[in-house]
Structure 1
Amino acid sequence: MTDQIKLVALRRIGSENPQKPERHSFDFVVNGVSLFAATSAAECDMCGALSDPQLEREIARRVNSGTAAMLTSDVPVGGHRVALFVCPECGDFACGAITVRVSRTERGVEWSDFAYENGSDPASKHDLGPFEFEWAIYLNEIGRSKAD
């Protein structure tokens, strides 16, 4: 049996003091569990690596296709790490990111080895997964992030 994935709207409320822009991105909900909550990404003031194209069209045009490709068509043999949650100001990995190892399987794709990374400190692992998603359903769900 494969796991179920769903993109769910995720809103970061903006403020003027301190100045924080409002952000509209996606949470990844697996088997009914928010990965944003399970990884404590909110405590690090992160947002989803995929922007909501209905509310952030320009940001989605700039970043979503690259991130979606890393989650789907650009997955190498053996897999690679992909950021799921990033800094809402710049999206820079150095600010810290929640990442996952994405690997192709016979049935689809597997997410494993969740961690907080910032490129300089040792990765801090999260006790999540692994999750395996059926390819067609997975592609369809990640495809919802595409901006026209």
Structure 2
Amino acid sequence: MTDQIRLVPLHRIGSANPQKLERHSFDFIVNGVSLFEATQALEYDMCGSLSNPQFEREIARGVNGRTAAMLTSDVPAGGHRVALFVCPECGDFACGAITTRLSRTERGVQWSDFAYENGSDAASKFGLGPFEFEWAAYLSEIERSKAD
């Protein structure tokens, strides 16, 4: 049996003091569990790596195509690490990101080795996964994030 994934809107409220950008992105729900909550991404003040095109059409056009490609078609042999949650101000990996190792399998794609990374400190691992998603359902869900 494969795991189930859904994208669910995620909203970060902006403020003037301290200055914070309002962001509309997506949470990844796996088997009914929010990865935003399971990884405590709120504690790191993060947002989803995929912008919600319903609210952030221009950002989604510029970012979601590349991110969706990393989550789907651009998976090299042996896999690679992909950011699921990022800094809402700049999206820069150096500010910190919650990542997963993404690799292709016979049935689809697997997410494993979840961690908080910032490029300078040792990665902090989360006890999540691995999760394996059936390819067609996974691809369909990730494609929903793309702006028209």
Pairwise same-fold verdict (TM > 0.5)? yes
Q: How does 1:1-40 map to 2 (within 5 A)?
A: 1-40=1-40
Offset at residue 138 of structure 1 (A): 0.1
Residue 131, structure 1, aligned to residue 131, structure 2: yes
Q: Where in structure 1 do 4 or more consecutive aligned residues deviate above 2 Å? A: none
Q: Deviations over 1:71-118 (max 9, x none)?
A: 000001110000000000000000000000000000000000000000
Distance 2:77 2:3 in 1: 21
Partner of 1:114: 114
Distance 2:106 2:76 in 1: 14
Distance 2:129 2:111 in 1: 7
Residue identity over aligned pairs, in percent, reads 82
Q: What code does the residue aligned with 2:108 have?
A: G
2:89 partner SS: coil
Partner of 1:68: 68
- What is the alpha-carbon root mean square deviation over aligned residues? 0.4
1:6 partner SS: strand
Q: Which runs of 5+ in 2 are unaligned?
A: none
1:11 partner SS: strand
Q: Which runs of 5+ in 1 are unaligned?
A: none
Number of residue-to-residue matches in the alignment: 148
